[in-house]
Amino acid sequence: MRPAASNLGDEVVLEAQALQQLLEVLSGRGYQVVGPTLRQGSLVYDRLSSLDDLPRGWGDQQEGGFFRLRPLNEPALFGYGVGQKSWKEFLYPPRRRLWPARQEAHGLQILPPGEDAVKFAFIGVHPCDLHAIAVQDKVFLEGPYLDLHYQARRQSAFILAVNCGHACGTGFCVSMGTGPRASSGFDLALTEILAEARHYLVVTVGSEKGRQVISQLPHRRAQAQELEAAAKVVAQAAGQMGRSLDTTEIKALLYRNYDNPRWDQVAARCLTCGNCTLVCPTCFCHTVEDTSGLTGEQAERWRRWDVCYTVDFSYLHGGSIRATPRSRYRQWLTHKLATWIDQFGVSGCVGCGRCITWCPVAIDITAEVRAIREGERSGARGQGPGARGQGAGISKGTDKSN
Amino acid sequence: METLEPVLAAHPFLQGLDPRHLKIIGECASKVNFSAGEFLFREQDEATNFYLINHGRVAVEIFRARRGPVNVQTLREGEAVGWLWFGKPYHWHFDARAVQLTRALALDVKSLMQRCDQDPQLGYELMKRYAHMLAVQFRVAILQLGDMYG
Amino acid sequence: MCSQLTDPMLPTPYQVLKRVRETKDTFTLTLAPVKGGQGFPFAPGQFNMLYIFGVGEVPISISGDPDRPEKLVHTVRAVGAVSRAICGLKKGDTLGVRGPYGVPWPVKAAPGYDVLVIAGGLGLAPVRPAVYHLLARRPEYGNLELIYGARTPEDLVYRRELSLWRGRFDFRVHVTVDAARNGWRGNVGVVPNLIARARFDPEQTMALVCGPGVMMRFTVQELVNRGLKMENIYVSLERNMKCGLGLCGHCQLGPFFVCKDGPVFPYDRVRDWFLMREV
């Protein structure tokens, strides 16, 4: 196979072994290549130095509060769903130094942070995670203020997406419209096919960067039966999907159910550990920490991921706004599925299922929404902001009560 | 003799009252003036009057040993001071002192209540206004208790 | 997407020019950039993030005159580690400043209106720039009234200024406290109760309300009872804030980020969320 010219949207075929060359090409182009790999019995994203670092022949089993790796009976390179980590740890690191400061004779000196030149290539980004990256783009790049660090990493990143070949145990991407097939937001997207003693990848070219990389690899135009095989793989994943979340008018539903008794029930189970926020690929809340050296001459400001389940999160002199676990779980879920829509025009949930898998007590966001929806039908509701009128906190009711 | 009815009618507490009732109330009312610093009444004094303030300002105070008087409320023109005492002689619970020159109408509660008993329609009118005044006072007191400026 | 070249999280060093004690735990600081220069323009109601070396950063409303932005004025109450450190700064000490942030009071839309400025406690600090703005353009507005309440006379801030304003014939100032010792000749009572004494045409009145939540709730209620339109009542809200940029998520109130969608909101827009508990 000799390199043939490929265009955006073209679908080409690479033999599985060509992936090694792909990693080399990306390294050669200055990318730090990161992708799925096994560490201490868990699936993480980390630096890949060769194809052997991928969890070849491994799959996963996920349920509420449960994750196990399991061996597959085929040498698939991408035979697993999403692990507890997500790509946000590279684009939006858990901890980042914002700036150092010095106390000098003439007073405070704040120094600009150093340049961040790292350029990532992400290998094996699932469609739900592509959507998650798009959601965080809205947060960090489309508001009145930009996160310049995120912008630099995001703009330089190369994304190799992978279409899902099997449904992950807790995901519900089909109902969220985010999977199992990648539709946009990638440089290259592959579908892995193991059939009739062949192991090959059907690759969609999604960008000019992707086209340039492909042109350095041995590839050929995909044939009809290969495309068909790829479509079948994805359709099979969609068909296996065990969970769904009914998003019909979900904002209005939640806005009028802020006092639904269901919140008390889920709060009785919720440990407010915040795992769901840490594994969520869209959660963006963070805090800042100020540290100072022992001599008192140096100080630093760090930013780190924060968890809306802590009492501290909403602390204002005198006390916490969200003092009860009920209010904090409600904040997380309604933010994800309702207020996010008002804030950023999209849902904050991409249906990856991580919050279900990694919840120590297996709270299931899809089950909670279903319970609220069904509870409302049977009459439980209460006085949410939407319960009074038009909802969204923009109702123009009159208040003549004394 | 000068009639008090127009003065009574102008006070918000009695606004809109039937002239017949105003006339009856006028029979129990007298004009009183207090100069700045003068007490309208003092804690433990026998309580006989209900005051409608026409001008000036009155401080309601609690006297605390070593700390002196603590002003817990000020009332001004358009407002009322005191209670509609029922039955037996009662005593004031607080001090009330004019902060500045204050003009008021003092209603003799004993004779006013007698007239209310004779004319339940007047009694009901007065009690409605009185109940509203108490409700407002109550709300203010609760808000103050709440220490809302934290 | 906006173009932005500098990191908005990077504070600029400022120096304390003056420090005035307002109450036992509240101080007013006048600041200027260490490197000299004119400071930055701001609108009444906006806030800055103030950073104390190695201690941390807090959002504080600007309380100076928007027509004199070269003097950056902040009034701070010592309630936490950072605010205590700010209050402990002496003349010549430095701190970090970034801002200004947030949606201001709608003073630009107020010409032709009667304006009621209603503040409780330290809530006078965020509305003082609005008062400066209104007084500097006094003929453009109808009746102008300030209603200000605090726990005791000793808790009142800007006392000298209050008595100066009181001396004006074109500005009615009502001050009230919850309780007072001997010697206080002013009002004793709660802020909502003083609204009855204010003169305004409900159809043509804008109210700027700033103070603790309870005080604002009862004040707004009274204003609505007096016939003010909810869209003409503005409240300034307070939340935990870490960035001021709409990115850290701490200041959320339902769909709003108080730092960038507020802190000043027309009441009709936030009413449902404002009245709801623990959101």
pLDDT(C6) > 70: yes
- Assigned domain for B4 exists: no
Mean pLDDT lowest among A381-385, C13-17, C53-57: A381-385
Q: Is residue B91 part of a domain?
A: yes
Give mean pLDDT, residues C8-23. 95
pLDDT of residue A390: 40
Q: Do B140 and C178 touch (CB under 8 A)?
A: no
Residue A192 — pLDDT band, cuts 50, 70, 90? very high
Residue C145: which residues within 8 A CB-CB, separation 6 or more?
Answer: C114, C115, C116, C117, C171, C172, C173, C174, C198, C199, C200
Whether B12 is in a domain gets the answer no
Give the pTM. 0.90
Cβ of A148 and C7 within 8 Å? yes
Residue with token string 């503005």: C234
% of chain C with per-residue pLDDT over 90? 91
> What does the DSSP 8-state code read for residue C153?
G
In total, chain C counts a number of residues equal to 279
Determine the Cα–Cα distance for residues C11 and C57; give it in Å rounded to an integer: 10
Does C121 contact B72 at a Cβ distance shorter than 8 Å?
no
For residue A385, pLDDT beyond 80: no
Chain C positions touching A385 (Cβ under 8 A) are 254, 272-273, 276
Q: Do B71 and C211 touch (CB under 8 A)?
A: no
Residue B15 in any domain: the answer is no
Residue A371 to residue C30: CA distance in whole angstroms: 55
How close C118 gets to chain A, by Cα (Å)?
20
The residue ranges of every structural domain in chain A are: 11-240, 250-377
Q: Is the peptide bond before C100 cis (omega within 30 degrees of 0)?
A: yes
Range C137-147 average pLDDT: 97
Residue C134 CA: distances (Å) to CA of C56, C114, C127: 34, 11, 11
Asked if the model's pLDDT at residue C122 lies above 60, the reply is yes
Cβ within 8 Å, pair B143-C179? no
Chain C environment of B140 (Cβ under 8 Å): 189-190, 193
Residue B17 belongs to some domain of the structure:
no
In a domain, B22, yes or no: no
Domain of B64, CATH number, reads 2.60.120.10
**Minimal-distance CA residue of chain C relative to A393:** C272
Distance CA B98, CA A216 (A): 95
Taking CB atoms and an 8 Å limit, are B144 and C185 in contact across chains?
no
Q: Is residue B64 part of a domain?
A: yes
pLDDT of residue C37: 84
What's the domain range around B124?
30-145
- Give the per-residue pLDDT at A173: 94
> For the domain C12-101, what is the CATH superfamily, name and number?
Translation factors (2.40.30.10)
Q: How far apart are alpha carbons C74 and C61 in whole angstroms?
A: 7
Query: Is A398's pLDDT higher than 80?
Result: no
CA pair distance B30, B21, nearest whole angstrom: 16
In the prediction, which pLDDT does A195 show? Answer: 85
pLDDT of residue A113: 80
Instruction: Specify the pLDDT at position A9.
Output: 83
Closest CA to A393 of A251, A259, A255: A255
Q: Could you please report the per-residue DSSP string of B31-88?
A: EEEE-TT-EEE-TTSEE-EEEEEEESEEEEEEEETTTEEEEEEEEETT-EES----SS
CA C109 from centroid of its chain's CA atoms: 18
Closest CA to C116 of C50, C195, C35: C195
**Cross-chain residue pair C34–A394, CB shorter than 8 Å:** no
How far C119 CA lies from chain B's nearest CA (Å)? 10
Average pLDDT over residues C252-278: 96
Looking at residue A377, its pLDDT comes to 82
pLDDT exceeds cutoff 50 at A205: yes
What pLDDT score was predicted for residue A337? 98
Closest alpha carbon to C124 in C148, C101, C107: C148
Q: Identify the bridge partners of residue A44 per DSSP, sorted by sequence position.
A: A37
Alpha-carbon distances, residue A19 vs A2, A14, A45, A158, C118 (angstroms):
15, 8, 17, 15, 68
Of C176, C263, C249, the residue nearest C213 (C-alpha): C263
What's the gap in Å between the CA of A274 and the closest CA on chain C?
Answer: 15
Residues of chain B with confidence (pLDDT) below 70: 1-2, 86-87, 150
* Residue range A116-152, pLDDT digits in tens: 789 999 999 999 999 999 999 999 999 999 999 999 9
Distance from CA of C249 to the nearest CA of A (A): 5
Euclidean distance between CA atoms B59 and B34, whole angstroms: 12
Residue type, C272: D
Sequence-distant (6+) residues with CB within 8 A of C276 are A258, A383, A384, A385, C254
Q: Is A322 exposed, middle or buried (0-12, 13-18, 19+ CB in 10 A)?
A: buried
ipTM over 0.90: yes
How far apart are alpha carbons A82 and A85 in whole angstroms? Answer: 8
Q: Is the pLDDT of residue A5 over 60?
A: no
Choose from A293-302, B78-87, C253-262 the range with maximum mean pLDDT: C253-262
Distance, CA of A351 to CA of B120 (rounded, Å): 71
How confident is residue A394, by pLDDT bands cut at 50, 70 and 90?
Answer: very low
Contacts for A358 with CB less than 8 Å, ≥ 6 apart: A65, A67, A84, A275, A276, A279
Report the CATH architecture of C107-236.
3-Layer(aba) Sandwich (3.40)
pLDDT tens readout for residues C189-236: 999 989 988 999 999 999 999 999 889 999 999 999 999 999 999 999
Cα–Cα nearest to C175, from C166, B53, C201, B76: C166
**Highest mean pLDDT: which of A95-109, B72-86, C261-275?**
C261-275
* Contact (CB, 8 A) for A166 and A240: yes
Selection from B3, B86, B90, B88 nearest residue B43 by Cα: B90
Closest CA–CA distance from residue B99 to any residue of chain C (Å): 6
Q: Which of B70, B72, B149 sits opposite C120 (nearest CB)?
A: B149
Per-domain boundaries in chain C: 12-101, 107-236
C257 contact A CB<8A: yes
Closest partner CB to C254 (pick from A284, A339, A397): A339
Residue B133 tokens read as: 């005044």
Looking at residue C186, the DSSP 8-state letter turns out to be S
Average pLDDT, chain A: 91
Domain count, chain B: 1
Q: Are C114 and C140 in contact (CB under 8 A)?
A: no
**B144·C192 Cβ contact <8 A:** no
The answer to whether residue B23 sits within a structural domain is no
Neighbours of chain A (3+ CB pairs under 8 A): C
> Is the Cβ–Cβ distance between C115 and C142 less than 8 Å?
yes
Per residue in C146-172, pLDDT (tens digit) is 999 999 999 999 999 999 999 999 999
Identical topology for domains C12-101 and C107-236: no
Interior CA angle at B140 toward B137 and B145, to 5°?
125
Q: What is the pLDDT of residue B87?
A: 61
Bridge partners of residue C150, in order along the sequence: C177
Greater confidence (A2 vs C197) lies with C197
The first and second tokens of residue A278, run together, are 């840490």
